[in-house]
Amino acid sequence: GQNIDQPTEMTATEGAIVQINCTYQTSGFNGLFWYQQHAGEAPTFLSYNVLDGLEEKGRFSSFLSRSKGYSYLLLKELQMKDSASYLCAAKDSNYQLIWGAGTKLIIKP
């Protein structure tokens, strides 16, 4: 079956760095997405990886290892507004997105 695993909840301190891990098992692979979802709001796109390596976008970076079925989202210089759920999703061979349940990130002052 197809599966996405990520931690349910993480806590970090304002100004610090946090890494959210995601492992995936899909029938075929056509890229890995990270979305941010604030409570009561819609998911919004953060990053996309299809090749191995690190993609950096400001305070956020995303890493992919296709051989390990593994990705992480790295958030630097954490701000209170980064408190949200972070959803990992992988595209399978049919280009269908398979979603994880999300990691709720709590930022403390």
Partner 1 sequence: DTAVSQTPKYLVTQMGNDKSIKCEQNLGHDTMYWYKQDSKKFLKIMFSYNNKELIINETVPNRFSPKSPDKAHLNLHINSLELGDSAVYFCASSLSAGEVETQYFGPGTRLLVL
Residues within the interface to partner 1 (CB under 8 A): 30-31, 33, 41-45, 48, 50, 85, 87, 89, 91, 94-97, 99, 101-102
Find the shortest distance in angstroms from Cβ 109 to partner 1: 25
Which DSSP letter does residue 51 get? S
Backbone φ, ψ for residue 46 (5° rounding):
-110, -50
Find the shortest distance in angstroms from Cβ 19 to partner 1: 20
Measure the CA–CA gap between 77 and 13, rounded to whole angstroms.
9
Find the shortest distance in angstroms from Cβ 2 to partner 1: 11
Cβ–Cβ under 8 Å, residues 64 and 53? yes
